Structure 1
Amino acid sequence: MTGPRGAPPADTAREGRLGRWRDQTLALGWLVLVWNLLWGEINLANIIGGLLVGGAVLLFFPLPSVTFGGRLRPVALLSFACRFVVELVTASLHIARIAVQPGYRPRGAIIAVQLRVRTDLNLALTAEAVSLVPGTLILKVDRVPGVLYLHVLDTHGPADLALARNRTLEVERRLVRAVGGADELRLVESDAAEKGTS
């Protein structure tokens, strides 16, 4: 049912406004946290400064609306965090070995990875999680088809490229299991099952 002259009903408009306010509040909270982390100390002055800077950023550079339509699953989120720390340490040790190995010249490659869930939130989270691990760097995100272009360090052949691609898709799957919606979860789990049987 619509309001006068085809306008959306008041309840829908109110929910839309509340959703925008919620998203802006969450974005401001993250910006304040990042501001405090950049200063290396959480105190009242940094919180106020973060609120001012974050408010200015959101006012003058409005972010596109990215709504959270998933469900937070604490056990899967904890599993993602633990696995992420393990990958972070393993990749750091690998990069350190490359750095100190005399005469070794690692070969890099650029690969394209087609994600299964093409929402802006999934693209951003997956790209961030992948690029935080040493040895991989996001070069470009093609938003419409949902493709990440990665630079991968120390590749020796097609098997290493396939491994890097599968590792990226596994990061996406773990993220969707932690914070994705039911439809997104079915999509990544059914794709993983198909690959397992092929």
Structure 2
Amino acid sequence: MLFVIHLLASAGLAWSLGAAHLGGGLLAFALLYLIARLLGLAIGRLRRYARSLEHGVSFCLWFIAQVFLATYHVATLVLARRVDVEPAVLAYPVTRREVDKVTLLGTLLTLTPGTLALDYDEEQGLLYIHALDARRREDVTEILIELERRLLAWLDAGKAEGVTP
């Protein structure tokens, strides 16, 4: 809800300053964010909102970079003279077993070229993933761990201090 208020206030500020275009809107969004960040030192709810916004932007930029890297990796595999891949189905133990978080993780994995979320076993907490090239399983697992860590950091950033995720 705070994000919608922030977005509407940014649009109103950009329009009132006569900069009713994308650059003006982004500038107004950044200015209001800085004000919220400064006020957030005194107001806990604004501090949580600013932290959530920071984690969200950081996660989105990181994930877009990962999609581009995975796209490049898959393209080099497909365009090589000799296709040398080792597909595999991996069982990944998730950190948090809530179905909504596992569904989001699986969806993000499926958006990444070369990986596909297949199934989730709620009892064991295992997410089954198909990887196009699993010659180095450690690399695939490291990316999964980092994706889950960053996603959970973003989702938990807006919670009140002292609340355990």
Match of residue 91, structure 2, among 112, 120, 129: 112
Which residue pairs with 1:174 in the alignment?
150
Which residue pairs with 1:124 in the alignment?
103
Q: How does 1:177-192 map to 2 (within 5 A)?
A: 177-180=153-156, 181=159, 182-184=163-165
Q: Which runs of 4+ in 1 moved over 6 A?
A: none
C-alpha distance in 1, partners of 2:83/2:149?
A: 34
**Structure 2: gaps spanning 5 or more residues:** 1-47
Amino acid at match of 2:146: E
- Contact residue 120 and residue 126 of structure 2 kept, 8 A: yes
Alignment of 1:165 with 2:146, yes or no, is no
Q: How does 1:3-152 map to 2 (within 5 A)?
A: 73-152=52-131
Question: 1:120-147 CA distances to partner (integer Å, 9 max, x unpaired)?
Answer: 1111111111111001111111123321
C-alpha distance in 1, partners of 2:105/2:80?
A: 31
- Contact residue 138 and residue 149 of structure 1 kept, 8 A: yes
Question: 1:111-168 CA distances to partner (integer Å, 9 max, x unpaired)?
Answer: 1111111111111111111111001111111123321111111222xxx212212211
C-alpha distance in 1, partners of 2:91/2:60?
A: 25
TM-score by length of structure 2 reads 0.62
**Structure 1: gaps spanning 5 or more residues:** 1-70, 185-198
C-alpha distance in 2, partners of 1:80/1:165?
A: 18
C-alpha distance in 2, partners of 1:170/1:102?
A: 32
C-alpha distance in 1, partners of 2:142/2:54?
A: 23
The number of residue pairs the alignment matches comes to 111
Amino acid at match of 1:100: L
C-alpha distance in 2, partners of 1:170/1:183?
A: 20
- Please give the secondary structure, in 2, of the residue aligned with 1:183: coil
